[in-house]
């Protein structure tokens, strides 16, 4: 897909701040620090549009971006960051659940998992949740550049086993690996919507 325009629209801390617009939306979900904002910047070929950080828990709100005047990206806060308070963790669950159950324009969820680690309990929980709620999703195995070809193929095997039947794309924001495949999936989801 050729990205002709990409602009940050707003940050939403609760439902009342969501956009009300019929255009389809793609949500990016995954544990804190997995590379959501980096993946978005890589897809859009715009450095720094989505804020990235080496300290986890950077993205605290749902950040909306409008792409090609045609569809939205929603960058969700990461889950599973041990250092946040219980209250904040509960807030994450509430916000994500509200969003994932009620968002009518949600065309596709991109579930990011770190290719260097086994999927966590929360990764599995989110996956089950997407399946049960019949939300279309694709799994992106991030930071693929950090593994050798051998390690990556092992990791993909584990991920495939954990997320049975899911489409899985090895991705690297550093090298651009997986970018075209992910765009193809996003293109189909927005076209079908």
Q: Is 83 left (phi over 0), alpha (psi -120 to 50) or beta?
A: alpha
- Pair 169, 144: CB distance under 8 Å: no
Neighbours of 102 (CB within 10 A): 10
Question: Which residue among 95, 106, 139, 173 contacts ligand GTP (CB under 6 A)?
Answer: 173
CB 55 → ligand GTP: shortest distance, Å?
7
Say how many residues touch ligand GTP, by CB under 6 A: 24
Distance CA 71, CA 6 (A): 10
Among residues 35, 80, 119, 178, the one that binds ligand GTP under rule CB under 6 A: 35
Q: 21-50 mask for Mg ion (x: CB under 5 A)?
A: ---------------xx-------------
Residue 34 neighbours by CB under 8 Å, 6+ apart: 78, 112, 113, 114, 142
Say which entry of ligand GTP, Mg ion, none residue 34 contacts (CB below 5 to 8 A, set by partner kind).
ligand GTP
Residue 181 contacts which entry, Mg ion, ligand GTP, none (Cβ below 5-8 A, type-dependent): none
Answer yes or no whether residue 34 interacts with ligand GTP by CB under 6 A. yes
User: Is residue 155 within the footprint of ligand GTP (CB under 6 A)?
Assistant: no
- Angle CA(138)–CA(98)–CA(70) in degrees, nearest 5? 55
Which of 37, 63, 155, 185 touches ligand GTP (CB under 6 A)?
37
What distance in Å separates the CA atoms of residue 80 and residue 175, rounded to the nearest whole number? 26
Chosen residue from 24, 78, 119, 178 binding ligand GTP by CB under 6 A: 78
DSSP state of 157: H
User: Which tokens belong to 135?
Assistant: 């939300």
**Interface with Mg ion (CB under 5 A):** 36-37, 59
**Interface with ligand GTP (CB under 6 A):** 30, 32-38, 52-54, 56-59, 77-78, 142-143, 145-146, 172-174
């Amino acid at each position: 897909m050729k990205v002709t325009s990409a602009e940050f629209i707003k940050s939403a801390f609760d439902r009342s701040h969501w956009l009300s617009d019929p255009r389809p939306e793609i949500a990016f979900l995954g544990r804190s620090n997995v590379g959501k904002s980096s993946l978005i910047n890589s897809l859009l070929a715009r450095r720094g549009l989505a804020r990235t950080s080496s300290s986890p828990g950077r993205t605290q709100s749902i950040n909306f971006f409008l792409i090609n005047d045609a569809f939205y990206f929603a960058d969700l806060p990461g889950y599973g960051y041990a250092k946040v308070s219980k209250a904040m963790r509960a807030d994450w669950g509430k916000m994500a659940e509200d969003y994932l159950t009620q968002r009518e324009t949600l065309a596709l969820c991109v579930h990011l998992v770190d290719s260097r680690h086994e999927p966590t309990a929360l990764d599995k929980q989110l996956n089950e949740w997407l399946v049960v709620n019949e939300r279309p999703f694709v799994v992106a195995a991030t930071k693929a550049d950090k593994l050798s070809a051998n390690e990556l193929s092992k990791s993909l095997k584990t991920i495939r086993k954990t997320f049975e039947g899911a489409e899985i794309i090895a991705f690297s924001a550093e090298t651009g690996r997986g970018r075209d495949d992910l765009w193809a999936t996003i293109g189909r989801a927005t076209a079908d919507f």
